[in-house]
């Protein structure tokens, strides 16, 4: 089916950006089915792209290809092969047996996320188009990876915007426990000579923050002989690395008791000194204020909060939250202390994030330097035509 754009609304497609919003489309006589393949045409009926259609989303069409070519199983096979080959080129498997194989728009398959944990694949289908082709994707992934099990974690809130219900469970494989709906236990992955238990069935995202792989290693390299505060620690990725790097002490803070329990398990799994490690359950904002009032201090603080601003619409509120925690962190740092601070919010770009951190330092009354910029690992590539794929921003700052 053809979708005609309004005059002048083809500019984003000519720049090869893969999204078309509802306001760019001329009125339709008949609306395509959810996830159906449509041709996007300019107002004068020139072919622009072939895309999936989403009747419920403001992002009404997501481009599969800018070429006049069939969208079928072999089309997606080539996309999946190319994505896997790129990860092989950058030798991610040499550092970890947990890797993101497919990263949605950045790999030319909007809405599809696939993470590999050892011999298991965890799949997220987040859009109408990826849902339409999900069974095909599952077949291809088994063929192209040699894995035998795919667990689905299509339970993100964004599915609601696509008119889709959450869906989790065994998608492919003969695991008796998973097929009967019995809660899955964690699986163990390896990363830079460390081990982590990952709860793929109910943890955040697909169970682990694979995008922080290189940044965890950087914290390990910087943590020697330091008292470290790891905020929003989740299952202890940064905490484990800090202890492995020779930290004097590590305090892991999170609001989830289950995450903290897994954090402690991961410390023990790596035979790290438990006497140097403490966990504290609670609201990070409140606890940072409490530490300030108690005149506590640290040599290194890691701030890896959840997504405060999913879109630019939420940026103003998120700015206050980011500034608050970073201001408190600067106050808690000792002289020459290191702040490793992140934002994974798509609505806060790198320039705004740096401005927020500068404002936090100013209001805290401290002088600080940026010594490193951090980003997501290379198995989370960013298409030059889709800058929204660069969601993870990080700064390493030193308090003077």
Active site residues: 344
Q: How far apart are the first and last CA of the chain?
A: 62
Which of 329, 346, 324 lies closest to 392, judged by CA? 346
Polymer length of the chain:
400
Q: What angle do CA 38, 22, 4 make, to 5 degrees?
A: 45
Using CA atoms in the order 45, 49, 51, 56, what is the torsion angle rounded to 10 degrees?
A: -50
């Amino acid at each position: 089916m053809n979708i005609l754009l309004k005059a002048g609304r083809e500019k984003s497609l000519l720049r090869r950006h893969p999204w078309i919003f509802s306001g760019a489309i001329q009125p339709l006589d008949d609306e395509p089915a959810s996830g159906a393949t449509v041709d996007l045409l300019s107002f004068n009926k020139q072919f622009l792209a072939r895309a999936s259609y989403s009747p419920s989303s403001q992002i009404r069409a997501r481009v599969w290809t800018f070429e006049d070519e069939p969208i079928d199983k072999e089309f997606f096979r080539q996309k999946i092969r190319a994505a896997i080959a790129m990860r092989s080129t950058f030798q991610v498997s040499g550092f970890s047996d947990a890797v993101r194989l497919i990263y949605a728009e950045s790999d030319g398959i909007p809405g599809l996320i696939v993470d590999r944990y050892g011999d298991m694949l965890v799949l997220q289908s987040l859009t109408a188009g990826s849902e339409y082709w999900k069974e095909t994707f599952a077949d291809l992934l088994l063929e192209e990876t040699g894995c035998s099990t795919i667990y689905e974690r299509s339970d993100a809130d964004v599915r609601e915007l696509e008119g889709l219900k959450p869906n989790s469970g065994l998608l492919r494989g003969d695991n008796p426990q998973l097929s009967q709906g019995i809660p899955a236990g964690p699986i163990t992955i390896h990363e830079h000579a460390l081990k982590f238990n990952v709860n793929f069935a109910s943890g955040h995202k697909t169970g682990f923050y694979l995008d922080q792989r290189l940044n965890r290693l950087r914290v390990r390299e910087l943590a020697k002989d330091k008292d470290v505060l790891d905020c929003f620690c989740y299952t202890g990725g940064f905490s484990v690395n800090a202890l492995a790097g020779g930290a004097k002490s590590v305090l892991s803070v999170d609001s989830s008791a289950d995450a903290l329990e897994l954090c402690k398990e991961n410390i023990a799994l790596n035979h790290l000194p438990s006497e140097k490690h403490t966990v504290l359950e609670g609201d990070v904002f409140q606890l940072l204020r409490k530490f300030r009032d108690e005149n506590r201090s640290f040599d290194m603080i890691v701030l890896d909060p959840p997504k405060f601003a999913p879109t630019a619409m939420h940026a103003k509120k998120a700015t206050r939250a980011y500034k608050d925690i970073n201001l408190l962190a600067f106050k808690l740092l000792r002289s020459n202390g290191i702040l490793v601070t992140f934002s994974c919010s798509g609505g806060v770009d790198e320039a705004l994030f740096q401005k927020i951190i500068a404002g936090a330092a100013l209001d805290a009354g401290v002088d600080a330097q940026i010594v490193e910029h951090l980003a997501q690992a290379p198995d989370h590539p960013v298409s030059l035509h889709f800058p929204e794929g660069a969601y993870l921003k990080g700064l390493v700052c030193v308090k003077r």
